Structure 1
């Protein structure tokens, strides 16, 4: 009398990885996520490796985690993987401040983001 297994949240030929608390704004993170959407994972890794954006290294780690999940947990072929989805969302915002003239207080917002990358196995087209 054990608990039943949780149903899969993704399809049989998919795997995903999620990163929370990335210290950048969702707008900046979405620029990097848009670079890899719809690409084969080899090309996406190359694009992220040579990107000049600071956050691209964290996106690369998330992509490699999704690839490892697909290979080890779901038994998918790494050579046939494509980034099917890459999206980001808002997380918490640290609020800091700076004293300004005439006793006022200037707000400094330090946003955090979260990133989800989903990879999908597609058949050979050649």
Structure 2
């Protein structure tokens, strides 16, 4: 008497990976996610490997997880995969205080973000 199994929200030719609690602002993470949207996965991995942005390492790890999910859980061919979606969202914000002049304090916000990557198998067009 458990809950009913939820139906799969993605298509049969898609796989998903989530990265949560990434310690970078969503605005900066979205710049990196924009680099890989719509690209083939091998090209996207190369872009992320040689990117100078700090968030590229975290995005690369999530993309590799999505590729592994597609290969192992959904039996998709890795050579046909394309980054269909790369969406970024806000997560929690750590609040810290910084001492200022005359006994005052100012607030420092350290944001976290999350990323959702969907890879889709696409047939090569001749």
TM-score (norm 2): 0.95
Map of 2:35 onto structure 1: 35
Map of 2:20 onto structure 1: 20
Runs of 4+ in 1 over 3 A off after TM superposition: 1-5
SS at match of 1:64: helix
How far the C-alpha of 1:6 sits from its partner, in A, is 2.5
How far the C-alpha of 1:108 sits from its partner, in A, is 0.6
Map of 1:9 onto structure 2: 9
Q: How does 1:1-126 map to 2 (within 5 A)?
A: 4-126=4-126
Q: Evaluate the alpha carbon distance shift between residue 2 and residue 114 of structure 1 in structure 2; reply closer, same or farther with a 3 A threshold.
A: closer
What CA distance in whole angstroms lies between the structure 1 residues aligned with 2:54 and 2:34?
A: 15
RMSD over equivalenced CA pairs, Å: 1.3
Unaligned runs of 5+ in 2: none
What CA distance in whole angstroms lies between the structure 2 residues aligned with 1:13 and 1:89?
A: 24
Unaligned runs of 5+ in 1: none
Q: How many residues align?
A: 126
TM-superposition CA deviations, 1:33-58 (whole Å, max 9, x none): 00000000010000000000111011
SS at match of 1:74: coil
How far the C-alpha of 1:5 sits from its partner, in A, is 3.3
What CA distance in whole angstroms lies between the structure 2 residues aligned with 1:70 and 1:103?
A: 56
